[in-house]
Amino acid sequence: GGRHTPFFNNYRPQFYFRTTDVTGVCELPEGTEMCMPGDNVEMTIELIHPVAMEQGLRFAIREGGRTVGSGRVATIIE
């Protein structure tokens, strides 16, 4: 399973791209206060280190070594 509680703006999980774990800061869309377990949301994530990726790349969202969500790169913002 994933999370059992919601997360809010500035949530900082690990993002697992291929073989690389990197911390990222989540920015929820304007007007979205929180993301509940099971929600699907498009958000902006700023990674703390650059990682090679391309549009469409799938990734896992991890917390404490376990996967709590997944996603797909929609747009890359330089």
Tell me how far apart the alpha carbons of residues 56 and 75 are, in angstroms, rounded to a whole number: 8
- Tokens encoding 76: 């890359």
Burial (CB count <10 Å: 0-12, 13-18, 19+), residue 7: buried
Round to whole Å and give the CA distance between 12 and 41: 16
Fold type of domain 1-53: Elongation Factor Tu (Ef-tu); domain 3 (2.40.30)
pTM for the predicted model, two decimal places: 0.91
Per-residue pLDDT tens for 46-64?
999 999 999 999 999 999 9
What are the pLDDT digits (tens) for 6-46? 999 999 999 999 999 999 999 999 999 999 999 999 999 99
> What does the domain layout of the chain look like in residue ranges?
1-53
Q: What is the pLDDT of residue 65?
A: 87
